[in-house]
Amino acid sequence: MNAKSETTIGNARIVLADRVIERGWIAFSDGHVAEFGEGDGPAGCEDAGGDLVMPGLIELHTDHLEAHYEPRPKVFWNPIAAVVSYDGQLATCGITTVLDSLRVGRDDDVRDGGLAEAITSARDAGMMRVDHFLHLRCEIPMPNVLDEMQELIGRPDVRLMSLMDHTPGQRQFRDEAKLRIYYRGKGGKTDAELDVMFERRTAYQKAYAETNLREVVAQAHAHKIPLASHDDTTGENVTDAIRDRVSVAEFPTTMEAAHALHQAGIGILMGAPNVVRGGSHSGNIAAVDLAREGLLDILSSDYVPSSLLMGALQLPRHVPAIDLAAAVRTVTKAPAEAVGLHDRGEIAVGKRADLIRVHVAHDVPVVRAVWRKGQRVA
C-alpha cells in the first residue's frame, strides 16, 4: 500500500472499464488513481458502505446551461451566476467533465448572453466544481453561423463541433407538427409566428446551408476539432457524415441510419432521457432498441443532467448483453476517447482521480460524493 495516498475508500463496488470488483478498495494521491484492489482495504480507509465507486461521468452534449441563463421565457439571469448554478447541478449528478453545448448560428430572437465568456470568467475565478470544455452546435443554414464560429473556434477549450440543421420537415423533425409542439412549449410561440419562422428557416437553408457547411467542416478539420453529425435519418445523411469525416453521430433517428453509421466506424451517441423514458420525445428511434442491436456507444444527458447516471445504470436491465461495466463505459471511457481526453474516463493507475460514489435506492441513483483530480467537490 502506498503511504502517500491522500484518500482511500474501502467496502465499495468498484466499476472498472472491463469488470466490477464486487468488494474492493481504491486509493488516490496527487490527483490520480494510485492503487486499487479486491477485498478489505487498509485500516482507517473511508467506508463506502457497499456503494458503487466509478469514474466521474463525461458529458458531450448538454444545452442545459440555457435553462439556468433563461429560467423563464425572456427572463435572463446573470450569466456567471447561471454558469455556477449549472456547474453545481452537474457535479451533484456525478458529471466531472462537461462539454457545454453553445449555439453557433442563432435566430434573431435568441440571446447568447456571453455564455462562453461567463464560463471563462467562472473558471478563472476558481468558481467551478467540474471541468468545462465547449461544444459548438453549428446551425448550418443560419446566415450568422460563420461569424459566430470564428469568434469561438480558436479557443483552446473547444473540444467538439456538431453540424446541425433544424430546418422544418427533415431529420429530427420530419413531422412538422412535432416541431410546432416543441416550439409552442419551449417559447410559447403562436402558429402564426411559427409560420413566419419556418418559412424563414427554409429560405435560409436554400440560401446558405451548402456554403456554410463546407466552411464549418474545413475550419473544424483545420483546428483538429472532432466533428459530430446530428439527427442522421437517411442513407444520404450518413453519406454526408462520412464525406465530412465526422467521428460521432448524435441522435440518429432511424435504425437504417444507425446501422450505416456503425458500419462506417462512426460512434453513435444517444440521449439518456430516451433510455429513462423508454423512447424519444420526438417520436424517433428508441436508444434501447439501438443498444440491443449493438449500435449504442455513448450516452448524453442532453436536457436532463441527472439522466446520464440513471440511464447508464438502467441499460443492463433493458439489454442483458450489456453488463454494468459496459454500461458505465458509455458515460465515461467512450465519451472521453471520442474527444481526446485520454487522461480520464476509467479507473486505472495513473488516470485522473475523477471519481463518484453512488448509492442506489428505489431504482434511483444518488451521488453521495464527487472527487475531481482527487479533491472532494460535492
CATH number at residue 3: 2.30.40.10
> Which residues have C-beta within 8 Å of that of residue 172, sequence separation ≥ 6?
166, 230, 231, 233, 251, 253, 282, 284
pLDDT in tens, the chain (378 residues): 444 458 999 999 999 999 999 999 999 999 999 999 999 999 999 999 999 999 999 999 999 999 999 999 889 999 999 999 999 999 999 999 999 999 999 876 567 779 999 999 999 999 999 999 999 999 999 999 999 999 999 999 999 999 999 887 666 666 666 666 666 656 667 778 778 878 888 888 999 999 999 999 999 999 999 999 999 999 999 999 999 999 999 999 999 999 999 999 999 999 999 999 987 766 689 999 999 999 999 999 999 999 999 999 999 999 999 999 999 999 999 999 999 999 999 999 999 999 999 999 999 999 999 999 999 999
SS (H, E, C) 204-228: HHHHHHHHHHHHHHHHHHHCCCCEE
Same domain as 164, residue 24 = no
pLDDT at 168: 75
Q: How many structural domains does the chain have?
A: 2
pLDDT at 103: 94
User: Helix, strand, coil shares of the chain as percentages rounded to 5?
Assistant: 35, 25, 35
Scanning the chain, the segments in alpha helix (DSSP H) are: 65-69, 79-92, 115-124, 145-152, 176-187, 191-222, 235-243, 255-263, 272-277, 287-292, 307-318, 324-329, 333-338
Same domain as 192, residue 326 = yes
> Which residues have C-beta within 8 Å of that of residue 73, sequence separation ≥ 6?
187, 188
Question: Can you give the residue range of the structural domain that contains 371?
Answer: 1-55+345-378
What pTM was computed for the model?
0.92
Same domain as 374, residue 241 = no
Same domain as 307, residue 291 = yes
For the chain, the C-alpha Rg in angstroms (whole number) is 21
The x, y and z cell numbers of residue 8, run together, are: 482511500
Same domain as 71, residue 47 = no
pLDDT at 117: 97
CATH number at residue 100: 3.20.20.140
> CB of 354 within 8 A of CB of 371?
yes
Same domain as 3, residue 123 = no
Residue 8 parent element (H or E): strand 7-15
Same domain as 108, residue 201 = yes
Handedness of CA 229, 117, 303, 368 (dihedral sign): positive
Q: What is the DSSP letter of 334?
A: H
> CB of 5 within 8 A of CB of 27?
yes
Residue 32 parent element (H or E): strand 32-38
Q: How far is CA 302 from the centre of its chain?
A: 6
Class of residue 123 by CB neighbours under 10 A (exposed 0-12, middle 13-18, buried 19+): middle
The x, y and z cell numbers of residue 196, run together, are: 413566419
Same domain as 242, residue 108 = yes
Q: Kindly give the interhelix angle for 145-152 and 191-222, rounded to the nearest 10 degrees.
A: 50
Same domain as 328, residue 232 = yes
Same domain as 116, residue 11 = no
Residue whose C-alpha is closest to residue 368's, from 49, 24, 26, 30: 49
Residue whose C-alpha is closest to residue 302's, from 139, 98, 64, 125: 64
pLDDT at 3: 43
